Amino acid sequence: MVISDLVTDRQLDQIDTEQWCSCIDGALTEEKYIESIKKAGFQDVSILDKRAYMEGEKVNGRKISSLVIKAIK
């Protein structure tokens, strides 16, 4: 599979519902996202592309990135 999604550099303790709806507060860390894919039985997980979601900006003190991930099952 190839999937594109948002990840964050750290999890939040408190969730903002508006940010959750825009996929910001629900974003996992890169490590947790990859771990979840592997737990689902996928192998050979690799990052094809990683870009800043909003260049130079942080949301609630977190850096948000867009990842493109490839994995095989």
- Of 25 and 67, which is predicted with more confidence? 67
Task: Look over the chain and give the mean of its residue pLDDT values, rounded to a whole number.
Answer: 83
Here the tokens at position 58 are 């942080």
Q: Which residue has the higher pLDDT, 59 or 38?
A: 38
DSSP string, 19-42: HHHTTSTTPEEHHHHHHHHHHTT-
Interatomic CA distance for residues 31 and 53, integer angstroms? 17
pLDDT band of residue 9 (cuts 50, 70, 90) is confident
pTM given for the model: 0.77
- Interval 30-44: pLDDT, tens: 999 999 999 999 999
Domain boundaries, the chain: 2-72
